Chain A
């Protein structure tokens, strides 16, 4: 079992590899869940190729830290220690999922792990970390809050409003931009005039770096530096350069990309890179294969688990619109029956 919080002390390459491998294996199973017609919808965004960002940054976080993610957030949540069964069940829209089937892939959250929520609005989760930073400062609990978002979110004004506030108030906040080079079918240079994204953060007075996502150790190292700095009141921005291996969502086959570019992009594989490094440092392929096999078996089981789970009961749709102490909204049917009973 992976400890729930893979903190700094666990950030040796073996552990980083293992967590990245779990993310990859999980994401492949998300794809399979869709193929088997068991996912809730097709808006499933896989983070294959981006594992080092999730794993490297989460390795630098402490248990009290909080974070928000974008729509491509499975890997981040898993790296933070999520239960893959409950994640997969949520992606399948089942009652046993983290959000009882209400949220799905794009709205998964778990307050216990400091996950303030994934978001289907590009940029939607970014300003919450400013608020979390204010909370941390007020309560003096030493928590850092990390906003994970894609390169596409740099098109949203709210990022700049948030970065300015974080810098102005010296909040314990990290803005982590996972730059996979694409927002849907648009390559970054078709959406952004200056693609050196961290320069924007510098302009706001944040500590800011770009790191190559091929090397998870480099990501973990940069993240440790910036997260520690944020904890000490120096808010920061980290861009992780990587490549989106597959389509935007499960059905997209990326017809807008040049196959040669894809081949080259997929060479930037942080999992394969870490594996090669482990072999260089003396681990045997057999030992790694055994670890991989164990991980794949664990992730295979998430599919069976999900298929065996029940749909949320229909009446649960009225639950959690308001606090549990408040009355639930009156169902339309009941209201119509009440109105017509009087006539």
Chain B
């Protein structure tokens, strides 16, 4: 076991994969000399050279488009989008090109690329640097979507993403980079596409991902002190979505809450809630409850920012209401 941060685990995943596969290249703004806006690619340019760790102009659409072309011609590009908030600028290349090329061209070729980015609140970064936009990606058939919550998953999911035959959007959480964990990177990871049961309990099921896994675990600890046992499921990947892991827990508990930092309306929680309702209807005592970000932009004011997204208190409070 070694102690490392989420940031270090991501870096390690990139370094290990680049050592194994000479066709992996990194490209993005500030990924080289600067080492990445959040430090994930620090010094990789020294290890692998400027022809594999490529600093680009501030041209998001062309960065993603170039990754598409590189992936179609034999490289394994890992592009970095500094903030998920800039995904709009890349959306044509991502949604109309990367996502559809295999299908439109009748299966002739895939686009094995990874788009690494980060999202979420926690740094008073304001309305255009704090969003959780995973629903944009999840709404696009053809794109895979991974969102690691733990240090071990930061490593393993990124390694797995770099072997995926299809385009993967990999969204890190900016508030997790300094989180530390003891990890054994040699241990066999969960397979790609499998959700993790972080905690099991029979009273209710909390389905979540990314940073909210930690908030859900904190809430579950509070609830346990009051005699309520919650299951916490960390989805790890939103596409593929592992419903098989969710189903038996919901059938047993009869109550489910879905938690996401992104806004509630038409968000990931809406999809999860619909799936659970459709597939576990006969087992449910209550409607599936969505705990999510408010349907508003994120303010720079730290007070308003914190108030805009769920935390352990709202999750615990909601669970108590459900079980009242």
Contact = CB atoms under 8 A, between A and B. Distances in A.
Q: Do chains A and B interact in one complex?
A: yes
A101 interface: yes
A186 B28 CA distance: 12
Contact of A93 (B124, B286, B294, B295): B124
Interface in A310-332: 311-312, 314, 316-318, 321, 329-332
A183 B29 CA distance: 9
A111 interface: no
A170 interface: no
Given A256-B33, A332-B294, A343-B286, A186 B55 contact: yes
Interface residues of A, dominant DSSP:
loop
Interface residues of B, dominant DSSP:
loop
B322 interface: yes
Contacts of B287: 339-340, 343
Interface residues of A, number: 51
Contacts of A333: 314, 317
A247 B302 CA distance: 24
Contact of A331 (B58, B294, B299, B304): B294
B289 A340 contact: yes
B256 interface: no
A336 B289 contact: yes
B59 interface: yes
Interface stretch (B101-109, B126-134, B194-202): B126-134
A146 B219 CA distance: 50
Contact of B34 (A120, A185, A314): A185
A192 interface: yes
Give the interface centre of B34, B126, B317, B322 by most chain A CB atoms within 10 Å.
B126
A213 interface: no
Contacts of B29: 183-184, 186
Contact of A312 (B33, B56, B290, B303): B303
Contact of B58 (A153, A311, A337): A153
Given A103-B300, A336-B289, A43 B294 contact: no
A152 interface: yes
Interface residues of B, number: 49
B57 A106 contact: no
A321 B297 contact: yes
A332 B308 CA distance: 9
B304 A102 contact: yes
B125 interface: yes
A317 B300 contact: no
Contacts of A183: 29, 57-58
Contacts of B286: 340, 343
A24 interface: no
A335 B287 CA distance: 12
B314 A106 contact: no
B37 interface: yes
A107 interface: yes
A54 B58 CA distance: 23
A185 B128 contact: no
B300 A40 contact: yes
B59 A311 contact: no
Interface string B39-79: 00000000000000001111101100000000000000000
Contacts of A331: 294
A120 B304 contact: no
B247 interface: no
A19 interface: no
A156 interface: yes
B34 A256 contact: yes
Contacts of B304: 93, 101-102, 311-312, 314, 316-317
A101 B299 contact: yes
A43 B85 CA distance: 15
B307 interface: yes
Interface in A140-197: 152-157, 183-186, 190-192
A312 B89 CA distance: 31
Contacts of B125: 41, 43, 120
B296 A318 contact: yes
Q: Nearest 8 A-B pairs (CB), nearest first?
A: A41-B124, A104-B300, A155-B57, A185-B34, A101-B301, A93-B301, A155-B58, A120-B128
10 contacts: A40-B301, A41-B124, A93-B301, A104-B300, A120-B127, A121-B86, A186-B57, A317-B296, A317-B304, A340-B286
Given A102-B297, A183-B57, 20 more contacts: A43-B126, A94-B301, A101-B300, A106-B129, A120-B125, A121-B89, A123-B58, A152-B58, A155-B58, A156-B89, A183-B29, A185-B30, A186-B29, A256-B33, A311-B303, A330-B295, A331-B294, A335-B264, A336-B318, A336-B321
Interface of A: 40-43, 93-94, 101-107, 119-124, 152-157, 183-186, 190-192, 256, 311-312, 314, 316-318, 321, 329-333, 335-337, 339-340, 343
